[in-house]
Amino acid sequence: MIAALNGAFDDISKAMKLHRVWVALAHEDIGDQHRRTTLGPLWLLVNYIAFVGTFVFVFQPAGKDAAGYAAYVAIGLLVWFYLMEVMSMSVALFQREESFIEGTTLPLFVYVMRLALQSVIRAGYAIVGCVVILLFSGSHLGMPWLWSLAGLFLILFTTPPLITVFAFLGAFFPDSQFIVGNLLRVGMFFTPVFWMNKGQDPVQKYAYEWNPFTYFLEIVRLPIINGEFPAHAFIVTIIAALATWAIALLLLGRYRKQVVFLI
Amino acid sequence: MVSIKLDNVSLVYKLHDKLTLSAPDRRVGGPGGRIEGSGRKQFVQALDGVSFELKAGDRLGLVGPNGAGKTTLLKVLYGIYEPSGGNVAIEGKVDALFNINIGFRREATGRRNIVLRGLISGWTEAEIEEKMNDIIAFSELGDFIDLPFKAYSQGMAARLAFSVATALDPEILLMDEWIGAGDASFQEKAKRRMDELAEKAGIIVLASHSEALIQSVCTKKMTLTGGRIKSLTPEPVKQTETDA
Ligand SMILES: Nc1ncnc2c1ncn2[C@@H]1O[C@H](COP(=O)(O)OP(=O)(O)OP(=O)(O)O)[C@@H](O)[C@H]1O
Ligand SMILES: [Mg+2]
């Protein structure tokens, strides 16, 4: 256990010293994904706005809830798409990096950070769109936005271990790539991304309370929507983040040398 | 002090370690390491009781039939594979050239790839900047250096890979069958650079099927078969081999 943790910290600290590598590679990745397109990464912004627009158009409730709904969906989709992308890209992470893993001695955490940074950059475009939608839909910049920002940082803090856990899952259990992909697609309907929990429908209530992703969404959304500090959501998220870190460190410490034999 | 010391190193590839829902596929053995076990628990003994020592200035040629364990041994030396048994002790800064495409980005230019490779090897930006012109000159790629890597021929890729890997004077250089792609003039140039490297008290380990290349570059030759050392010439002074 102690040895595993030492191994993990060793891997992580080496990766942090090599931060130039993953920063450079993440930028290459973004560039590659949008090579030869006219809008380049701006497509990410266009996609995001199109999605929010569609949801608002189809699901916007009538009456007094209407105004807040755009803000609700905008933040919900921002966080959900980010988490979904992180998880679905992670399961095949080590397989994708096969040629680097089999040809260099880079610590595995370098690949984790490369994906993390890449996802954050991509989400950055959506954040711009989200802020614009929030301002247009009548939210006012104010103190509660700082709580949302803290929520974003908490999500950021959870990203590397989340990637690590899913990457090991995908390496040891290749079928999980398809299972996770499908679960995430279904998961959108069981997470309060675009529906609101009114506490009347028991399925909805259950999905709201027992889905950990609910809280990741709510720490960013509730401060802006309700202007309050969602203490409960923050506590649940912090516990989830620490648990993910613990699992990730153990996996990294114990199994990092095995990965090269598995991919 | 640059040195390599392997003590009774073995390496096993497990074939069905992954959890999967699919039925285990039947892998059929060819030449090479021994396939053992059956069903879900098959494994290949790629290295078995390998012990040897190299000192500064040594140039070891690794030979042996396909699947003898040459590439595996180089990857153990580089630190990519943790051996399943035995001890590896290495002193010195190691650089390696495996498959020439490994670690290069196809979409990026040669120049950008040099930067990336440098960063991966732990160089600072200043060091990369300083070496850039030398690397480009040595590779003789000329204007092609600003074209994407995917536009390179095999030999051009080999030139770039070799130029980068040897630019920062690695103390230990591991090479796997890379040189075949370079043309005669580049092979000559590469050989001179390897000579320089060995003279600066470095160690070179080169795996190749080309007897001529091994003859001209190496001072020692090790023959592997089925993951075991069959012969090592010249014989080490102290006979420490214990396994029959
Ligand atoms: N990733 C792997 N998974 C399972 N077995 C492997 C793997 N890589 C190599 N082997 C096995 O290990 C043995 C040694 O392989 P290795 O690649 O080291 O041989 P080699 O001497 O480099 O051969 P060649 O001359 O063809 O390059 C072979 O029997 C091979 O089948
Ligand atoms: Mg080989």
The alpha-carbon gap from A221 to the nearest alpha carbon of chain B, in Å, equals 39
Q: Is the CB of B70 under 6 A from ligand 1?
A: yes
CB A90 within 8 A of CB A176: no
- How many C-beta neighbours within 10 Å does residue A119 have? 23
- Which residues from A are below 8 Å from B122, CB to CB? 17-18
A35 falls within a domain: no
Q: For residues B140 and B159, is the Cβ–Cβ distance under 8 A?
A: yes
* CATH numbers and ranges of domains, chain B: 56-83+93-242 (3.40.50.300)
Ligand closest in space to the Cα of B72 = 1
Q: Which residues of A66-100 are buried (b: 16+ CB within 10 A; e: fewer)?
A: eebbbbbbbbbbbbbbbbbbbbbbbbbbbbebeeb
Provide the pLDDT for residue A83: 96
| Mean pLDDT of the region A184-202 | 87
Does the distance separating the beta carbons of A105 and B78 come in below 8 Å? yes
Which among B14, B98, B119 has CB closest to A24? B119
User: Does residue A21 form part of some domain?
Assistant: no
H or E segment and range at residue B197 = helix B184-199
B226 Cβ closer than 6 Å to some ligand 1 atom: no
Q: State residue B74's pLDDT score.
A: 94
User: Whole-angstrom Cα distance, residue B24 to residue B16?
Assistant: 7
Ligand 1 contact via B67 beta carbon (within 6 Å): yes
Identify the nearest ligand to the CA of B209 by its number: 1
Tens of pLDDT, residue by residue over A171-188, are 999 899 999 999 999 998
By C-alpha distance, which of A262, A246, A252, A242 is closest to A14?
A252
Distance CA A108, CA A94 (A): 8
Q: Which chain B residues are within 8 Å of A172, Cβ to Cβ?
A: 18-19
Length of chain B: 244
Range of the domain at A209: 2-14+41-262
Asked if residue A72 belongs to a domain, the reply is yes
Kindly provide the b/e burial profile for residues B93-125, where b requires at least 16 CB atoms within 10 angstroms of the residue's own CB. Answer: ebbbbbbbbbbbbeebbbbbbbbbbbbbbbbee
From chain B, pick out residues whose CB is under 8 angstroms from the CB of A33.
none
Residues 6+ apart with CB under 8 A from B235: none
Q: Nearest Cβ partner of B80 from A31, A174, A260?
A: A260
Residue A26 is assigned to a structural domain of this protein: no
Ligand 2 mean position to B66 CA, how many Å? Answer: 7
- What whole-number distance in Å separates Cα of residue B175 and Cα of residue A103? 12
Q: What's the confidence (pLDDT) of residue B235?
A: 62
Q: Tell me what ipTM this predicted complex has.
A: 0.82
* Residues from chain B contacting residue A35 (CB–CB below 8 Å): 107
User: Tell me, what's the pLDDT at B184?
Assistant: 82
Cβ count near A227 (within 10 Å): 14
Has residue A221 got a pLDDT over 90?
yes
Please check whether residue A31 lies inside any domain of the structure.
Answer: no
Whether A118 maps to a domain, the answer reads yes
The mean per-residue pLDDT over the stretch A154-170 comes to: 97
**Three-class SS state of B204:** strand
Q: Kindly state whether residue A29 falls inside one of the protein's structural domains.
A: no
Is the shortest distance between the CB of B43 and ligand 1 below 6 Å? no
Instruction: At B46, give phi and psi (nearest 5°).
Output: -85, -30
Given a cut of 50, the residues of chain B with pLDDT beneath it are 238-244
Domain count, chain A: 1
Q: Higher-confidence residue: A9 or A137? A: A9
Closest CA to B121 of B97, B88, B89: B97
pLDDT in tens, A77-127: 999 999 999 999 999 999 998 888 988 889 999 999 999 999 999 999 999
Nearest beta carbon to residue A104 from set B103, B108, B115: B103
Q: Is the peptide bond before B234 cis (omega within 30 degrees of 0)?
A: yes
Q: Which of A35-44, A204-213, B136-145, B152-161 has the lowest mean pLDDT?
A: A35-44
What are the CB-based long-range contacts (under 8 Å, 24+) for A4-7?
A4/A249, A4/A250, A4/A253, A4/A254, A5/A249, A5/A250, A5/A253, A6/A253, A7/A252, A7/A253, A7/A254, A7/A256
What are the residues of chain A with a beta carbon less than 8 Å away from any beta carbon of chain B? 17-18, 20-21, 24-25, 28, 31-32, 35, 99-106, 172-175, 257-258, 260-262
Tokens found for residue B196? 């320089």
pLDDT tens for B103-156 read 788 888 999 999 998 898 888 889 899 999 999 999 999 999 999 999 998 888
B25 close to A (CB below 8 A): no
State the DSSP code for B220. E
Question: With a threshold of 0.95, does the pTM exceed it?
Answer: no
By CA distance, what is B72's nearest residue in A? A102
Query: Which atom, in ligand 1's list, is nearest to the CA of B72?
Result: 18
Q: Taking residues A210-230, report their average pLDDT.
A: 92
Q: Tell whether A170 is covered by a domain.
A: yes
